[in-house]
Structure 1
């Protein structure tokens, strides 16, 4: 049985962050506060992607782009 929720992937989330001004701003702030990159990405994923269908759809686009490289 497949879950309806996306699965966290750090490289996929980083591609998403680099294309979204809001996420990029929050990511930079989390890094400035001392969080490591993967923790910051996971915080953004949990707080902005999960249970938000528009953000989930956008996040999934970056999975497809990553698969092509």
Structure 2
């Protein structure tokens, strides 16, 4: 997985209360996606449907509504 060793995958799984098997299956991929999305400002709100800028009718980017 992205250059990480199986021990790193197992640690990630343990930290996120997943089955610890070192395999990057659907649940591990979903948890990884959630962690990556959380690193991008504003993206978590979009994924959770919290509205964010788009829900308030504010501009989403240069010249966009």
> What TM-score, normalized by structure 1, do the two folds share?
0.32
Greater relative contact order (Cα < 8 A, sep 6+): 1
Larger radius of gyration: 2
Structure with the higher helix share, 1 or 2: 1
